[in-house]
Amino acid sequence: MVTMTSPRSRRVSQRVGAIAESATLKVDAKAKALKAEGRPVIGFGAGEPDFPTPDYIVEAAVEACRDPRNHRYTPAGGLPELKRAIVAKTARDSGLVVEPAQVLVTNGGKQAIYEAFAAMLDPGDEVIVPAPYWTTYPEAIQLAGGVPVEVLADETQDYKVSVEQLEAARTERTKVLLFVSPSNPTGSVYSADEIRAIGAWVEANDLWVLTDEIYEHLVYDDLETGSLPVLCPELADHTVVVNGVAKTYAMTGWRVGWVIGPKDIVKAATNLQSHATSNVANVSQRAALAALEGDLTAVDAMKVAFDRRRRTIVSMLNEIDGVYCPTPGGAFYVYPSVKGLLGKEYDGQVLATSAELSEYILDKAEVAIVPGEAFGSPGYLRLSYALGDDDIVEGITRLQKLFA
Ligand SMILES: Cc1ncc(COP(=O)(O)O)c(C=O)c1O
């Protein structure tokens, strides 16, 4: 008999039932659905380059499809030649020297983050998560049994946490610091000195770091920055690096990322992956191999366009009364404060929160934007500027008119 408390009546598990839908994908899906209905929606929601994957990478994938070697299972942890290419690329781009046994090839950076936390955390272990945070981090930590502890940094500190704030959040249960620079959602870039100071605090307190380097090549204005385990070599045995091809080579749909870390962590994460998903699709791995073996021409060209769009969007947003948009140093997001627009009446309705504001904007101006609530910091909006120059101007002009 099924009673209210029987195992059968508890339909979705508590662990998975607690996961929220990705707010960024939700906004993007809504914008795409409205577009499909013929509405002239401009979407600032998506976190992906608007450029196609470079031809030489696509050609390598086409060739890989025809090669029967790629029609079979391959080692769960990744093709050996791709692991070697990741080792070489990492030494070339960030200066971190590792061995292939320290690399696990994953289905994108997302799976890398999930598997890394699963390999590092025991129930109750705390992870310090600087906020505004990318929406996936707290979910991945909780799924792995960990407890995310948020540390909020606002626009007055360029959305970057200080060592004092980290220290105030540290407890006996703290195991890992989550670190990301350039950041999604704020685009903030930590300077080399700031990274060294944070690294010294991590080392002094016997913690681990998971550092997400997916936007490493999108740093503007020649800012002086670097990779945390390179700037803080003493942390090498307690650092896990996450990276991937998605943002650098306009390859979000190919789903290739990786974990780099100490061998025991990587081995454990590889065991997990061997039961969860086995090897990443071989055609995608071959495409990633071609990407990494090539040069950085494609990302350099994208960077020029992103930099131009960054300047346009920052200056246009700052022309709106009630909006304050700092100039981000990296990635392809701006994160303006819209606190000056809240609590006012628009068309007979008072908009109290950034979530209500973004719904109002979608409704009235047909512009899709993700509210700060998705990133643990209400009162802000995140706009991706990885869309065409004309769309950016048109979209922000609509906002300027809406709030004139
Ligand atoms: C900060 C950050 N890390 C990791 C990822 C994961 O990228 P992917 O899973 O597409 O490789 C993203 C994607 O938006 C991101 O913004």
Nearest-CA residue for atom 15 of ligand 1: 184
Distance CA 256, CA 240 (A): 17
Distance 321 CA to ligand 1 centre (A): 32
Q: What phi, psi does 199 have (nearest 5°)?
A: -60, -40
Give the CA distances from residue 389 to residues 55, 74, 171, in Å, rounded to whole numbers and listed in that order: 23, 42, 46
Q: Kindly state whether residues 140 and 202 are assigned to the same domain.
A: yes
Residue nearest to atom 5 of ligand 1 (CA): 109
Query: Would you say the CB of residue 181 lies under 6 angstroms from ligand 1?
Result: no
Same domain, 65 and 125: yes
Q: How many C-alpha atoms does 203 have within 13 Å on its Cβ side?
A: 15
DSSP-assigned states of every residue in 77-113? T--HHHHHHHHHHHHHHT-----GGGEEEESHHHHHH
DSSP string, 149-169: EEEE--GGGTT---HHHHHHH
Within this chain, do residues 40 and 63 fall inside the same structural domain, yes or no? no
The predicted pLDDT at position 2 comes to 58
Both 240 and 374 in one domain: the answer is no
Asked if residue 375 has its Cβ within 6 Å of ligand 1, the reply is no
Please report the pLDDT score of residue 24 as a whole number. 72
109 lines ligand 1 (CB under 6 A): yes
CA of 6 to the centre of ligand 1 (A): 39
Whether residue 68 is contained in a domain is answered as: yes
For ligand 1, whether the C-beta of 330 sits within 6 Å is: no
How far away, in angstroms, is 154 Cα from ligand 1 center?
Answer: 22
- For residue 150, the Cα-to-chain-centroid distance in whole angstroms is 16
Q: Are residues 93 and 220 in the same domain?
A: yes
User: Is residue 318 a part of any domain in this protein?
Assistant: yes
317 and 240 in one domain?
A: no
- Provide the residue range defining the domain that includes 352: 13-52+298-402
Output the tens digit of pLDDT for each of the chain's 404 residues. 657 778 888 899 988 898 877 777 777 788 888 889 999 999 998 888 889 999 999 999 999 999 999 999 999 999 999 999 999 999 999 999 999 999 999 999 999 999 999 999 999 999 999 999 999 999 999 999 999 999 999 999 999 999 999 999 999 999 999 999 999 999 999 999 999 999 999 999 999 999 999 999 999 999 999 999 999 999 999 999 999 999 999 999 999 999 999 999 999 999 999 999 999 999 999 999 999 999 999 999 999 999 999 999 999 999 999 999 999 999 999 999 999 999 999 989 999 999 999 999 998 999 999 999 999 999 999 999 999 999 999 999 999 999 99
The CA 12 to ligand 1 mean position distance, Å, reads: 27
Task: Identify the domain boundary among 235, 265, 293.
Answer: 293
Residue 25 has a pLDDT of 74
Looking at the 3D structure of the chain, how many domains does it have? 2
Ligand 1 pocket, residue 252 CB under 6 Å: yes
Testing ligand 1's pocket by substitution, the residue of 107, 247, 333 carrying the most ligand atoms inside 8 A of its CB is 247
Same domain for 129 and 174?
Answer: yes
* Residue 78 within any structural domain of the chain: yes
On whether residue 214 sits in a domain, the answer given is yes
Task: Single out the residue of 266, 270, 282 nearest to residue 73, CA to CA.
Answer: 282
Query: How many Cα neighbours within 13 Å face the side chain of 396?
Result: 27
pLDDT of residue 267: 98
Strands 333-334 and 257-260: unpaired
Domain with residue 65: its CATH number is 3.40.640.10
Q: pLDDT at position 4, please?
A: 72
91 falls within a domain: yes
Residue 171 belongs to a domain: yes
Same domain, 48 and 81: no
pLDDT of residue 35: 87
Same domain for 67 and 179? yes
pLDDT at 42: 94
